[in-house]
Structure 1
Amino acid sequence: MRKLLVTLLAIVALPMAAFAADYKEGTHYEVISSQATTQPEVMEFFSYYCPHCWKFEPIVEALEDGLQGVELKRGHVEFLPPRNPQLGQMMTRAFAAAQVLKVVKPFSEQVYQRNFVQRKMVATMDDVRDIFTAIGVKKEDFNGAYNSFPVNSLVAQMAQKTKKYGVSGTPSVIVNGKYKVLAGGLSDSDDFVADYVKLVNYLVTLK
């Protein structure tokens, strides 16, 4: 009986062991801190002014559906566009408002559509208000959320995490506050999105 139990445990451990053998520091991930978070954490940093972030959205959706035992968190960075950081600050607050109002997906779709399909850059508060109105948010609800305490808290948290993890480019995915995912390590993958999710789930298990 004992031998059977040991055998079964070994079989269960095989998939994770295989993943561990396949993933290499410097190729698939970078260690950015000596200390991991006390609880598992996966955080994606992005900007609405980053075309690569727009293309990264299918991976974001896959992570939201495929992470094991942890919820994806997202942080909008303020340093893009570099010549006009005020826009980054405005859109960070707008993203936080979208979170509070529970309209992140339609809001993001509208912003990316304007910025990279219609090429009519979201550049003013009127643009932001128009988008919220277009996705069905009442003007008074948007105005109430935009400068609310929950939005202020989210904005502060995103800025703090961006600085703490030394984020300087987007999109960036940081796992457990210690591991930065290196997408280039999966360049030969036959199913990049699925393999990206597997890599992140592996990193979640590390301390």
Structure 2
Amino acid sequence: MFLLQRLNRFFLMLVCLFTANANSQSLVPDYSYQAQANAPVHYQAGTDYIVLDNPIRVADPSKIEVVEVFWYGCGHCFHFEPIIEPWVKQLPEDVNFVPMPVIWNETTELHARMFYTAKQLNKLDELHSVLFNAMNIEKKKLTKQSVIQQLFEKQGIDKKDFENAFSSFSVSSQVRLAGSRVQSYGIEGTPEIVVNGKYRVSARLTGSQEKMLEVVDFLVNVERAKNKSAATAP
């Protein structure tokens, strides 16, 4: 009887020790999920973005260039504007954001000239949304210079100032350059974003316009890291 009691106590102690050990292990926090959540996101070339075969020279090599290729008549571009506008406002100083109108045909070339005319007149900030709204909400075609001129005049632009800017050498040069760069980028649709003349990002690959900007942020960081590495190299 005494031996049986001692055996019972021994087994009870084993059970208690096992339970205590199991409880102590369950109290150790599991950081595996948190570590995974905090891990840096990596996007893949060919899956999330396209690497250009031949990098295109950027306007300002001292900064990381981000070019948004768009068309005023594009509904996707119209819906992208309220997404990209706040993103652009928080870009750091080492990033140079460049909106660039696509040029595929005579109509898009006319609209590119319309964009650079507004820029030449220092009225782009005021007219950018007006031009988007005219084509996407008011459904105006804007396929003639006279119709575009009327739209500018309604915004307080002098007729002569418009005509001079619209046909100026500066605007014509910018239109030609945009056409050349769009062709070199291999733009397939709008909106698309080109990072530092090397990578092309579109919603067709990312799945959404919001994720486009996440991929662009990733690529900007890649280029920033390369710049820092080059600066510290012996």
TM-score normalized with structure 2 length = 0.68
Measured in 1, the distance between the counterparts of 2:118 and 2:165 equals: 9
Measured in 1, the distance between the counterparts of 2:106 and 2:165 equals: 19
- In terms of mean alpha carbon deviation, does 53-62 or 152-161 score higher? 53-62
Residue 204 to residue 67, structure 1, CA distance change in 2 (3 Å): farther
Pick aligned residue for 2:71 from 47, 71, 84? 47
Which ranges in structure 2 are unaligned for 5 or more consecutive residues?
1-37, 227-234
Tell me, yes or no, if the aligned pair for 1:77 and 1:158 is still in contact at 8 Å: yes
Q: 1:187 Cα deviation (Å)?
A: 4.5
Measured in 2, the distance between the counterparts of 1:170 and 1:200 equals: 19
Identity of aligned residues (%): 28
Q: Which has the higher contact order (CA 8 A, sep 6+)?
A: 1
The answer to whether structure 1 residue 74 and structure 2 residue 99 are counterparts is: yes
In the other structure, the counterpart of 2:23 is none
Tell me, yes or no, if the aligned pair for 2:203 and 2:212 is still in contact at 8 Å: no
Q: 1:78 Cα deviation (Å)?
A: 2.1
Which ranges in structure 1 are unaligned for 5 or more consecutive residues?
1-16, 80-84
Measured in 2, the distance between the counterparts of 1:53 and 1:41 equals: 19
TM-score normalized with structure 1 length = 0.76
AA paired with 1:76?
P
AA paired with 1:53?
C
In the other structure, the counterpart of 2:120 is 100
Q: 1:75 Cα deviation (Å)?
A: 1.6
Pick aligned residue for 1:159 from 158, 167, 179? 179
AA paired with 1:201?
V
- In terms of mean alpha carbon deviation, does 24-33 or 191-200 score higher? 191-200
Summarize deviations over 1:121-172 as a string: whole Å, max 9, x none.
2222122111211222111111111111211221111011111111121111
In the other structure, the counterpart of 2:52 is 32
Summarize deviations over 1:171-207 as a string: whole Å, max 9, x none.
1100111111243565589x75873663353354366
AA paired with 2:214?
D
Query: Cα RMSD (Å) of the superposition?
Result: 2.7
Measured in 2, the distance between the counterparts of 1:206 and 1:159 equals: 31
Summarize deviations over 1:79-108 as a string: whole Å, max 9, x none.
2xxxxx322121111111111112223322
Measured in 1, the distance between the counterparts of 2:85 and 2:57 equals: 23
